[in-house]
């Protein structure tokens, strides 16, 4: 979870993609849109969904690491996306 300069708390949750959850008080969260407008094409080599996301802020940019894999297989990958705002639909893989 990160806190934006506007005071909003943001995380991206596993389940149905990488969906934004946001809060102003870290207690009540609302569900938002997916991090990606279109899923990166390379995901199809590993799975259809991503999970276990971790968001941070470094050097003026939001970074999100996440995993893609097929359950029960040894074929997995870790993705890294960047965004200047941290908002849904703003992430570049």
pLDDT given at position 53: 94
Mean pLDDT of 50-60: 93
pLDDT digits (tens, 9 = 90+) for 64-77: 999 998 878 888 99
* Tokens found for residue 25: 């008080």
Between CA 38 and CA 70 the distance in angstroms is 19
pLDDT digits (tens, 9 = 90+) for 2-42: 998 889 999 999 877 899 999 999 999 999 999 998 889 99
Q: Across all residues in the chain, what is the average pLDDT?
A: 91
The single residue listed with the structure tokens 């993609």 is 17
Which has the closest alpha carbon to 64: 41, 42, 34? 34
DSSP string of 36-69?
Answer: -SS--GGGGGT-S-EEEEEEEEETTEEEEEEEEE
pLDDT given at position 8: 93
């Amino acid at each position: 979870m990160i806190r934006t300069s506007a005071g909003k708390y943001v995380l991206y949750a596993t389940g149905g993609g990488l969906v934004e959850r946001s809060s102003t008080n870290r207690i009540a969260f609302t569900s938002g849109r997916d991090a990606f407008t279109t899923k990166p094409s390379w995901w199809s080599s590993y799975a259809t969904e991503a999970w276990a996301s971790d968001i941070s802020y470094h050097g003026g940019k939001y970074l999100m690491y996440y995993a893609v894999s097929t359950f029960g297989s040894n074929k997995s990958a870790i993705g890294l996306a960047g965004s200047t705002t941290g908002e849904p639909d703003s992430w570049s893989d």
